[in-house]
Structure 1
Amino acid sequence: MVNEEKLRAAMGQSRNIRNMAVIAHVDHGKTTLTDALLARAGVISLEQAGVKRATDTRKDEQEKGITIKSTAVSMLFERAAPTSSLNPGEENPEGVGEGVTRPAGSGAGVAYVVNLIDSPGHVDFSSEVTAALRIADGAMVVVDCVEGVCVQTETVLRQALAERIKPVLMVNKMDRAVFETQLAPEEMYQSLARTIENVNVILSTYGGEDGVMGDIMLDPTKGNVAFGSGLHGWGFNLGQFARMYAARFKVKAEKLQRRLWGNHFYSPTEGKWRDTPAEGYERGFNKFVIEPLVKMLRACKDTDTETVLKLASNVNVTLTSEERALTGKSLMRCVMKKWLPAAEGMLDVIIEHLPSPDVAQMYRTELLYEGPMDDPVAIAMRKCDPTGPLMVYVSKMVPAADKGRFLAVGRVFSGTASSGTKVRIMGPDYKPDSAIKTDLFIKPIQGTKILVGATTYSAGDMPCGNIVGLGGIDKYLLKTGTITTYEHAHNMKVLKFSVSPVVRVAVDVINPAHLPKLVEGLKRLSKADPMVQCKTENGQHLVMGAGELHLEVCLQDLEEDHAGVPLKKSEPVVTYQETVVDKSDRVCLAKSSNKLCRLHMTAEPLPAGLADAIEKGLIKSTMDVKERSRILVDEYGFELADTKKIWCFGPNGSGPNILVDMTKGVSYIQDIRDAVVAGFQWVTGEGALTENTVRGVRFNIVDALVHRDASHRGGGQVIPMTRRAMLAAMLTAQPRVLEPVYLVEVMCPKQAVGAAINLLSRKRGEIIEQNPQEGTPMTTVKAYMPVNESFGFNGELRGDTGGQAFPQFHFDHWQVLAGDTADLTSRACAVVTEIRKRKGLVEKVPALENYLDKL
């Protein structure tokens, strides 16, 4: 059972806290591995570990066998002070790992708190991973030793490095390498080395050159890599094996550990080591780790009780009479859990190689906090000071025990969060410098909770460096926000997701009397999921998600929990965007309704890659103008004069379109700037073709006539004029429709590759690479495929390949839909007509004359 008082007391020692997320590709075993740590902390029983999947708290997670929501668990571990070597075992000429003893037990010693977040691996739920990483400092990356590094492994690692999260590695499912692929020791070593190297390639590519996190490269000899099998509850790191053998070889464990990986070969007859292979010499890892492991696993699997007992006594494992009667897998799980418990192998890696909050906040604060680095909040965050001003970042909401209410899950970065304290609750739209304070509430915290999976425990207060659940905040924050007691505090940075909500479904109630419940349910749904967007368009209630599975889960939650009434749902529809592909063929003029102001505008596409850079936050409206100008001139070929007169980005002030003032010597132009910007935000939110969002367009104000009398140039005159000028500019610049494109990765055996490629081709897929995976019978096919073609793809792929292929979708980019929107026979024109019909607009795109004025 969880001892709440002990756990809360230990949470005050920030040096001994580790905040970590478990991240991986789907089905690589994150949740089963988490079970081992939960069992070691006493949250679940040892027998349930690996089977219960305790952090899958939802019914559909247990049924589907995948994690859908990230779950936070605070655990207390008491560990003995580390010992450099252990007592020698008995001599054993032919047995497992000669002279091996079991790792030291965990006598009471130092108390460590591990705040762990088990996150989903499926790409549709990667927004949950983003939310989890924000409040963690380290990540345990889990990789299946047979499948190796997959597309989602790379995505989540990239997200982690962008948030300055330090990684450690767990190579899981080692039992598959022994029993399924039946690799020889040297092949197994090469396969493991390849996996670690592939992860290191990603770390060196995206890890940045600043080196603020220290050395992040993974190497088993450093002790930041563990191996094991979560399902069977065993695991180890090289440090454990080095300590086992240290006394027998009469060398220091640290020295031996370096020889248990890489090119170090040992000869049992000569008792010598060398760095190159030779006859009679065997690689240290194979001889001292793989051989004893395989010997033990095979003996247990074959129920060779005599050998098992002999090997068990060599490694100081005692079996009771009931345990001796076990057979096959049950015997194997029992012996291996006693000899190499997975939790010990992982805890060494987590506690020794992941940073504590004091260390991590030193280098993460500048990345997370938007205010100046010398204000009291930033200083307290850097020091992780429990007596400083309170600073909490809420990264997600989880449904609370009271129906319809939510707990705000966040991380205390400085100060101490206490029940009853009056705090400033700042939403993402709060601007500290603005005279009008929007998105700000001053309210008390109603309760602080320690989160242990599906259970919560009340705590009077929570010091910084910990993950906390806060009550009463859900009324004032939608999804994320900042909570502070310092009056002049700035916000923490808003989460950036690696996926976007490109699939939408319209929902409606069957019984009109239930409409208020649906509206309330949609509000709760958008709170409960970091990614989902709910909006009303032309009287339709739309739910927008990252993919088919994400939408399916959201709609099920809406129907069963949030709204609680039966619903009708439309077929999923893809979100398209608008752009232009050429420069306007003329300067477009629009006059104000009183004919006293004029605006001359053109539109043109942004240079390649600029829209992506704006979306990723590499180029922002809030940047220093000189720095932004340098990037735009050097990398995107802008004129220097134009970069200094960028009025804004849009839509929402941060979207991938820009408005440039290219006028010279126009009187009063600055007086209408706000109104023109408002018109620009309107147009970029609702384009000329389908009233969808615009992407990748630069609008230029070429000339203007502004009336000297302020009463004749108000917003009511200027905003509609700006809109008409911009829509005309778009229509004269070859407008096109953009469709979202997935990167699809299909894993299948070599014989099923042909069927997979045929299906991808039928779905307008563009094959980009085909890689046979070394050491396995699998091949990976990567292709770009329009999101519109992805519906039902999984079922068709299973049918065509006899269930042997596994697809993984990841939103990759937007591409121009082939064909002119004015050509009635083109696909693009059909899409435009269909969207306009669905939105209840006139079917034909309004003609240019509707927007263009003559002098």
Structure 2
Amino acid sequence: MASDTDNKLTKAFAGIDPQNIRNVCIIAHVDHARYAGKLRYMDSRDDEQTRGITMKSSAVSLYHEPFLINLIDSPGHVDFGSEVNSAVNLADVAILVVDVVEGVCSQTESLLRQSFLSRLDVVLVLNKLDRLVIELKMTETEACLSQIITGTFLENEQEDMEKMEANEERLHFDPTKGNVLFASAINGFAFSLDDFASLWAPKLGIDKKELVDSLFSDFYLAGGKIKPDAEAKGKKSLFEQLVLQPVWEVHKVGLLDKDFDKLKSLAGKLGIPPITSRRLDEAFDEFMRNWMSLTKAVLKATLKGKSAKVAFNDEERAIMITNSKKHVLFEHVRACNKDSMAVAFVAKLLKFENHKVAMCRVLSGSIKKGIKLYAAGDDDSEPIEVDNIYALLGRELVPLTVAPAGSICAIELSSWLTGTTLCSEKIAEPLNFSASSLEPLVRVSIQSLGATEEWDDLREGLKQLAILDSAVRVVEQENGELALITAGEVHLQKCIKDLNDMGLINISVSEPIVPFLETIIPDPSSSFAKLTALHLTECFMRQFGLKLKLRAIPIHDDIVKYLQKHDKELKSIRERTAEEKHLKQFYDGLVGIFKETLPQMKGTVWAKKKEDYIQKLVDNIWNFGPFKAKYNILINGIDEYNRPSIWSTKDSAKTYWPLDRAVVAGFDIAMSAGPLCQEPLQGVCIYIEEWNYEPDDGEVSEAKSLAELNDPSLHGQLISAMKATCKAALDKHPRRLVAAMYKCKVQTASQALGKVHTVLAQRRAKVLNEDLNQMNGLFEIESYMPIVESFSFCEQLRKKTSGMAAAQMEFSHWQLIEDDPFWEPTTEEEIEEFGVKGDSVSQARHYVDMVRKRKGILEELIVISAEKQRNLKRNK
């Protein structure tokens, strides 16, 4: 039987005006929301309750007449960037929670950046105010809250001055604007400057607006008047006098002095309802809730934010999700009309008991039970019938009759999704909500242990994960094996739990694998003559009279970074879909960085080359690397081969040689599997100096020649020859491994500092910085750690330090491992120190052998000096 609350919510959804809907998400660094409250209502999963962190976005719809507030909680752990993305995509207002003691941490800036790019209104909540009084024993003068507010700022990267000023206004947190709250969620209180201005203005006889404007500035109170230059005159500021002093006093009475009678007396003086709790800690919480209610303060702040009706009136925000004003849904999204065509964006799939539901935002029209919705962009898909509609209440579902434009709801699905944009009409192009920027790196193989039907279910389940989570990649390999690639260890565990929730329990998951990259580096010890002559590699195919000459040359890291920043351009060049304007911008940037970096590369043939030579290199780029190894370059150095340029879409005068594609295919294969351990290459240029056709008799007719050149077997052999020649050219250079790195931030007490460094050293982490946080007395250690070494790191850290240290890790970059994997001692001093073959295996060699062993290409020497083995005499 439906409760009164459920009935009210059902009626609210049915009659709500989008103008009165607020869609709000909570974003926070993982530890800043921890223990924020006593009941973890929205952490509905068992693993969330166990870990004490949010792992999946969840929502609750709250009705406060006449307003409907849809509140979405999001994870703070970096592995769940896609979940944060879902919350941000659903919301119009963000509540950014920052711990007043910890201050701005690793995730805070990235969360703020996401909110800014999605053009959300952001409310800053400075949480755990009680810690300043109880733990740190600070006075109201020592609490430097203004520093935290100033530090919570995103650097403006706009070049347009007009836009810069407008954006700085949006990005600026200022308590006088009402976008900053001071709170202690565990005690249930929060306040804004407006709350204290309302309290003091009538008592002091000062205009409320004047008081609000002065309350967080350098003013003080004297003789009933507000005066400037408080700091210069050594006076307590208005904020200290009128805000922090009363708050500190209540904390001291209730939590330090534990004076029950005085707390009751204070309640009477402030006009607060009498305290009914009998236990002191509960009495303090009741006092604070009655005095400065957290829910009222947050409600008041969110209601100042944009409503669902005007959320996409911002033309720039509407274009972000439609890509163009010409998109058929552009006006529908902007209007947010509940009587228009139904349009919904699906953010997440949820499992409630036996219900398979999708959390979505209704952007236009209304969704009713039985409505048929089409996946935009999928012409072949059958319509999805909505079996039921629900409001979300954390762990519960409340049946609805209708979900109008602007609302967030859950729809029960009759079939699997094929897209995230659902419409009541067939639409060719889906909406383009922002995707997670996380790079999926941790890979596992997943197998079904059941019948063929269960394999099909597993494929569908993985497909759903990939559709809804942009940080997930699913690959079906040639042998039929299914590979799942995720953003990190915790994200992987969450994905497996999601599959279990879909009913996929009978599955086997392999040990996680982290990929490496390979590269070559300059050899400064080689002379220019050696570089020019010895690094040239030749291949001659006698059967067909084909000759190939090429060299492998390392390119500068800055060029690789430039290519990484222009992924879209690389893809469009390979697919021949690039626009002339974008090609020109990419080309100009590449020419500039080539000229800046290549002539400085000692130990390569680029060193000291002139600008016209460098310019010609860019002009003659044949292609860039394949999907798996995009950041490599193939350059045409053959004078007589004047092929069409990749930099022009109108270059019709020039022609391709018949075997052009075979050369590119061989290059692609060579770049996809390097010589060290068959991992993809990065930062390599293959420069082809000669490629010609010389028949044995020298008198073959043109017709016969062309026929031979189009022979499929020749294409295959040239691909193999190109691959082998590239490998031989790479082997002439110092080869190195490139590892994916986490940026690891550890907070620890001083007594556990040594143990933290021990664990970091065991994980081959390189410490960058170590500072003492003056606010909380904890040491903060920053380091780079290879992702391959990170598994179970947090668990080991907690055990070794008895819970006194906590770590936060996020993908940072790919880093060259300086060690030579094949180094052996050569000088007498090295042999004396390390032995004939070296006493210890280098980090790089360890990784190379590990990957080779996994791929079955490691040749292990099991028996040494077999003739010396003998059976031991058995003593009787």
TM-score (norm 2): 0.77
The RMSD of aligned alpha carbons is 4.0
Q: How does 1:98-497 map to 2 (within 5 A)?
A: 111-188=66-143, 190=144, 192-200=145-153, 202-204=154-156, 210-211=163-164, 214-267=169-222, 269=223, 271-277=225-231, 281-301=235-255, 302-319=257-274, 323-354=275-306, 356=308, 358-360=310-312, 362-365=314-317, 368-369=320-321, 371-384=323-336, 391-399=343-351, 401-402=353-354, 405=356, 407-414=357-364, 416-417=366-367, 423-426=373-376, 441-447=381-387, 448-459=389-400, 462-472=403-413, 475-477=416-418, 481-484=420-423, 489-493=428-432, 495-497=434-436
Task: Determine the C-alpha separation between the residues in 1 that align with 2:237 and 2:512.
Answer: 55
Deviation (angstroms), 1:286: 1.3
Say if 1:11 and 1:466, in contact at 8 Å, map to a contact too: no
Deviation (angstroms), 1:808: 1.3
Matched, 1:551 2:480: no
Deviation (angstroms), 1:513: 4.7
Larger Rg computed on CA atoms: 2
Say if 1:818 and 1:827, in contact at 8 Å, map to a contact too: no
Say if 1:389 and 1:485, in contact at 8 Å, map to a contact too: yes
Task: Determine the C-alpha separation between the residues in 1 that align with 2:149 and 2:424.
Answer: 44
Deviation (angstroms), 1:170: 0.5
Gaps of 5+ in 2: 523-530, 573-577, 597-613, 644-653, 694-702, 825-840, 861-876
Say if 2:23 and 2:71, in contact at 8 Å, map to a contact too: yes
After superposition, what is the alpha-carbon deviation per residue over 1:626-654, rounded to whole angstroms, capped at 9, x for unaligned?
22223223345495666567676654499
Deviation (angstroms), 1:187: 0.9
- Letter of the structure 2 residue corresponding to residue 565 of structure 1: N
Q: How does 1:694-733 map to 2 (within 5 A)?
A: 694-698=681-685, 713=710, 718=715, 721-722=718-719, 725-726=722-723, 728-729=725-726, 731-733=728-730
Say if 2:441 and 2:486, in contact at 8 Å, map to a contact too: yes
Say if 2:629 and 2:672, in contact at 8 Å, map to a contact too: no
Deviation (angstroms), 1:56: 0.1
Deviation (angstroms), 1:459: 4.7
Q: How does 1:726-805 map to 2 (within 5 A)?
A: 726=723, 728-729=725-726, 731-733=728-730, 734=733, 735-805=735-805
Task: Determine the C-alpha separation between the residues in 2 that align with 1:491 and 1:590.
Answer: 50
Deviation (angstroms), 1:572: 3.7
- Letter of the structure 2 residue corresponding to residue 8 of structure 1: F
Count how many residue pairs are aligned between Structure 1 and Structure 2.
770
Task: Determine the C-alpha separation between the residues in 1 that align with 2:689 and 2:310.
Answer: 54
Task: Determine the C-alpha separation between the residues in 2 that align with 1:468 and 1:69.
Answer: 16
Distance change >3 Å, CA 145–CA 715, structure 1 → 2: farther
Deviation (angstroms), 1:595: 4.3
Matched, 1:816 2:820: no
Say if 2:559 and 2:593, in contact at 8 Å, map to a contact too: no
Say if 2:376 and 2:426, in contact at 8 Å, map to a contact too: no
Say if 1:577 and 1:693, in contact at 8 Å, map to a contact too: yes
Deviation (angstroms), 1:290: 1.2
Deviation (angstroms), 1:581: 3.4
Stretch moving more, 589-598 or 179-188: 589-598
Matched, 1:626 2:626: no
Say if 2:362 and 2:408, in contact at 8 Å, map to a contact too: yes
Distance change >3 Å, CA 702–CA 486, structure 1 → 2: farther
Distance change >3 Å, CA 177–CA 483, structure 1 → 2: same
Task: Determine the C-alpha separation between the residues in 2 that align with 1:500 and 1:601.
Answer: 33
Distance change >3 Å, CA 249–CA 821, structure 1 → 2: same
Matched, 1:17 2:25: no
1:28 pairs, out of 23, 28, 32, with 32
Say if 1:174 and 1:227, in contact at 8 Å, map to a contact too: yes
Say if 1:19 and 1:114, in contact at 8 Å, map to a contact too: yes
Gaps of 5+ in 1: 33-49, 79-110, 431-436, 845-855
Instruction: Classify the secondary structure of the residue corresponding to 1:276.
Output: coil
Distance change >3 Å, CA 392–CA 704, structure 1 → 2: farther
Deviation (angstroms), 1:24: 1.2
Task: Determine the C-alpha separation between the residues in 2 that align with 1:24 and 1:720.
Answer: 57
Distance change >3 Å, CA 136–CA 722, structure 1 → 2: farther
Stretch moving more, 309-318 or 115-124: 309-318
Instruction: Classify the secondary structure of the residue corresponding to 1:573.
Output: coil
Matched, 1:577 2:564: no
Deviation (angstroms), 1:204: 4.2
Distance change >3 Å, CA 379–CA 552, structure 1 → 2: closer
- Letter of the structure 1 residue corresponding to residue 61 of structure 2: S
Number of the residue aligned with 2:557? 608
Matched, 1:520 2:457: yes
Distance change >3 Å, CA 204–CA 778, structure 1 → 2: farther
Deviation (angstroms), 1:579: 3.4
Say if 1:166 and 1:355, in contact at 8 Å, map to a contact too: no
Deviation (angstroms), 1:178: 1.8
Deviation (angstroms), 1:837: 2.9
After superposition, what is the alpha-carbon deviation per residue over 1:646-703, rounded to whole angstroms, capped at 9, x for unaligned?
6766544995445566664247428777777666666655555444444444556666
Task: Determine the C-alpha separation between the residues in 1 that align with 2:685 and 2:320.
Answer: 30
Instruction: Classify the secondary structure of the residue corresponding to 1:113.
Output: strand
Task: Determine the C-alpha separation between the residues in 2 that align with 1:659 and 1:770.
Answer: 43
- Letter of the structure 2 residue corresponding to residue 763 of structure 1: R
2:50 pairs, out of 63, 88, 106, with 63
After superposition, what is the alpha-carbon deviation per residue over 1:175-225, rounded to whole angstroms, capped at 9, x for unaligned?
11121112100111x1x112111112x354799973465522101111100
- Letter of the structure 1 residue corresponding to residue 33 of structure 2: G
After superposition, what is the alpha-carbon deviation per residue over 1:229-260, rounded to whole angstroms, capped at 9, x for unaligned?
11121111111111222222333322211222
Number of the residue aligned with 1:96? none
Task: Determine the C-alpha separation between the residues in 1 that align with 2:423 and 2:517.
Answer: 38
Deviation (angstroms), 1:173: 1.0
TM-score (norm 1): 0.79
Deviation (angstroms), 1:747: 0.7
Distance change >3 Å, CA 57–CA 721, structure 1 → 2: farther
Say if 1:657 and 1:684, in contact at 8 Å, map to a contact too: yes
- Letter of the structure 2 residue corresponding to residue 273 of structure 1: K
Distance change >3 Å, CA 539–CA 483, structure 1 → 2: closer
Task: Determine the C-alpha separation between the residues in 2 that align with 1:246 and 1:256.
Answer: 7
After superposition, what is the alpha-carbon deviation per residue over 1:391-429, rounded to whole angstroms, capped at 9, x for unaligned?
5443333235436x4x333434455555655555257xx
Instruction: Classify the secondary structure of the residue corresponding to 1:51.
Output: coil
Deviation (angstroms), 1:266: 1.4
Distance change >3 Å, CA 215–CA 325, structure 1 → 2: closer
After superposition, what is the alpha-carbon deviation per residue over 1:801-852, rounded to whole angstroms, capped at 9, x for unaligned?
34322111111111123344565865434433432332334759xxxxxxxx
Task: Determine the C-alpha separation between the residues in 2 that align with 1:742 and 1:485.
Answer: 44
Stretch moving more, 637-646 or 344-353: 637-646
Distance change >3 Å, CA 76–CA 686, structure 1 → 2: farther
Instruction: Classify the secondary structure of the residue corresponding to 2:218.
Output: coil
Say if 2:14 and 2:404, in contact at 8 Å, map to a contact too: no
Task: Determine the C-alpha separation between the residues in 2 that align with 1:603 and 1:516.
Answer: 49
Deviation (angstroms), 1:119: 0.8
